[in-house]
Chain A
Amino acid sequence: MVAVGSWGRLGIHDHRMQLLADRARVHGDISGQRQGLAFGMGRSYGDVCLNPGGTLWDLRSLDRFIAFDEQTGRLRCESGTLLREIQRFGVTRGWMLPVVPGTQYVTVGGAIANDVHGKNHHRYGCFGDHVTQLTLARTSGEVLSCLPGDTMFAATVGGLGLTGVIVEAELQLRRVPGPWLDVETLPYQDLQQFFTLADASEPDWEHTVSWIDCLHPSGRGIFMRANSVAADQPEPPSRADVRFPFVPPTSLVNRLSLRSFNAMYYHLKKTQPRSLQHYVQFFHPLDRIQDWNRMYGPHGFYQYQCVLPREAGATGIQAMLKTIRRAGMGSFLAVLKTFGQRDAVGMLSFARPGVTLALDFPNAGAPTLALFERLDAIVLEAGGRLYPAKDARMPRALFEAGYPRLQEFLPLRDAGISSAMSRRLLGN
């Protein structure tokens, strides 16, 4: 048994780890066993990647490229391949992943199973929109080839790993002029200004995102928008990553530190109007600090990420920020962003048209959970939903209300697969 936890560090549980190292044997390796779950980098925050007391199928050794067509940009690879490897491989050839999440230390399989999104949702949708085929091994011993449009494809993209083990995938990369982005940084004073900026930026800017100062009464923040550009600039020397060296006895993110953090960050950022940034710096700033999740101390932290439909968005977000301020809690890594008008591929994909707010909270026990209940009520009222990849505690009713295609999904599950999240939200 091996102790495994997820990125939120809320708990560490014993698992039987079974390494899947040969892609031709996965269907045999996973069949006829007690229930298991595919495991990659463990970068999801809550319990979607955990199966306490059960088996985790470790896919990190299945990290081979299979084929690449330099003309069309189609890349076929094993599902344990890291997005980082694909980016490094592709960027020198003028091809990159169309959609990347905040960290590139995730596997292709994990990116598909959580149908992750990036800062360019309004232009490129989610990760699953660029998967052109996937190979799924089921614990029945079957191996299925799934194409966009297939029912099993729609169940597996965003399917939380519950429909089988993704063994291989074919991805459509996109042409890029190089690793650089032209980034514009604009301060905003309140939510109204945020929405105006977001709407005005979407036609001409591929990437839009904002950091919001959730402690400030007006809801000020920093809006960032960016486009890929050709730049005659050498690759920056690869600096060694910094590692957060230890788990502090208590969270370093607290009421005192937050206020100064946020004020400092706001004033620092608002004076940098335009810059040329490398893609790692722009897309994955936190990747530079390995184990940054340790800063929340021994009890770990929660991420709370919701999406609200646009109609209810402004008032809903306003109400959530007010609730957080009133509770005297706050978040440093607070991200506010609009999603484009497009439906996701997956039955349980998170992204939908509207506005998404992501917040992190040190785990302070009951008061933190009580705050989440109040936030849940706002999300439910607004017709929104929470992101399973970040979640460790949402009530079943909220999940069911947020994901109307759940009933369609359930019969497509693989009976030999179970996770802590599926037991919590689906009953088995």
Chain B
Amino acid sequence: MSKKRIVIIGASSAIAEHCARLWTREAADFLLVGRDLARVQRIADDLRVRSPQSAIQTVDIDFLSADAISVLAEQAAQLGIDIVLIAHGDLPQQVSCEQDIHLAQAALQINGVSPALFAEAFAKQLARQGHGTIALIGSVAGDRGRKANYVYGAGKGMVERYAQGLQHRFASTGVNILLIKPGPTATPMTAHLAPAGLAKVEQVAHAIVKAIEAGKPVAYVPAKWQVIMLIVQHLPRWIFHKLNI
């Protein structure tokens, strides 16, 4: 069997990095895309040590530039793509976003618009080759707007809507679109939160890799969040608005 070709957008996100480590269990070809090349290169070095047989390329681009994104997708597709993992995101301080609308704008762009554009650009390439998986990391925060994090949640909600649309578009084709919804996970992004109740990043990565292999459409990780969010989504407004969540 030939080596898998895997593209990771936001390769320095902790969840993406741990997915990549799992994928190196078999030699694969990686294209790691990030905003900070030095950080992405450190991750590439780690993967090379783990898997000398894997070929690992790194590149940094502007995550908000539609041109840069579509050029990247075209170039990446030249040798074929099996998996695209779109993993980047930033958890802003909700209160700061309420005080400074520019922060809200930046958060909406990086968590919502940017992943949607990556998905669109790679969808075009996968449609052409007729197979492959695009996995997008959404969030349980995208399931229902809450006062604690609705700026982030709105961005992630956009990712969800985009994934749904792509799933509809690619239904009964060889292209699979997976929406992953992690609950709060212990990563640098959540370092300011108390560790109790955070999922381990290794476990989340493991679940993502399995969901991609299984060709699932939606994966809550850990799975318990599917139940929790089902309840949160269906709480009547008069109860929901009394909750401090």
- Where the two chains meet, the residues of A that have a C-beta atom closer than 8 Å to any C-beta of B are 2-3, 17-19, 21-24, 58, 61, 64-68, 70, 75, 89
Contact = CB atoms under 8 A, between A and B. Distances in A.
29 contacts: A2-B194, A2-B195, A17-B191, A18-B191, A19-B188, A19-B191, A21-B14, A21-B188, A21-B191, A22-B39, A23-B42, A24-B38, A58-B191, A61-B14, A61-B187, A64-B42, A64-B45, A64-B46, A65-B45, A65-B50, A66-B42, A66-B45, A66-B46, A66-B49, A67-B45, A67-B49, A70-B52, A89-B49, A89-B50
A75 B39 CA distance: 20
B38 A64 contact: no
Given A66-B46, A67-B45, 4 more contacts: A3-B194, A19-B191, A61-B14, A65-B50
B163 interface: no
Nearest to B194: A2
Contacts of B191: 17-19, 21, 58
Contacts of B194: 2-3
Interface string B88-106: 0000000000000000000
A19 B195 CA distance: 12
B26 to A, nearest CB: 13
A27 to B, nearest CB: 15
B43 interface: yes
Contacts of B50: 65, 89
A65 B188 contact: no
A265 B45 CA distance: 47
Given A23-B42, A24-B38, A68 B195 contact: no
Contacts, number: 38
Interface residues of B, number: 15
Contacts of A89: 49-50
A65 B39 contact: no
A18 B188 CA distance: 10
Interface string B26-50: 0000000000001100110110011
A23 B49 CA distance: 17
A404 to B, nearest CB: 40
Contacts of A66: 42, 45-46, 49
Contact of A68 (B14, B43, B49): B49
Q: 7 closest A-B pairs (Cβ-Cβ)?
A: A19-B191, A65-B49, A64-B46, A21-B188, A68-B49, A65-B46, A19-B188
B158 to A, nearest CB: 27
Contact of B43 (A24, A58, A64): A64
Contacts of A19: 188, 191
Contacts of B52: 70
B198 to A, nearest CB: 11
Nearest to B187: A61
A68 B191 CA distance: 30
Contacts of B195: 2, 17
A396 to B, nearest CB: 33
Contacts of B14: 21, 61
A277 B79 CA distance: 46
A330 to B, nearest CB: 34
Nearest to A65: B49
Nearest to A61: B188
B64 to A, nearest CB: 22
A269 B42 CA distance: 47
A168 B49 CA distance: 15
A290 to B, nearest CB: 12
Contacts of B38: 24
Contacts of B43: 64
Contacts of B46: 64-66
A67 B45 CA distance: 7
Contacts of A3: 194
B58 to A, nearest CB: 14
Contacts of A68: 49
Contacts of B187: 61
A22 B188 CA distance: 10
Interface string B45-73: 11001101000000000000000000000
A2 B195 CA distance: 8
Interface in B191-243: 191, 194-195
Nearest to B193: A2
A341 B85 CA distance: 54
Nearest to B42: A64
A6 to B, nearest CB: 15
A58 B14 CA distance: 15
A2 B45 CA distance: 33
A67 B194 CA distance: 33
Residue among B39, B43, B46, B52 with most chain A CB within 10 A: B46
A70 B51 CA distance: 12
Contacts of A70: 52
B40 to A, nearest CB: 12
B14 to A, nearest CB: 7
Nearest to A17: B191
A64 B38 CA distance: 14
Nearest to A1: B194
A60 B46 CA distance: 15
A66 B39 CA distance: 12
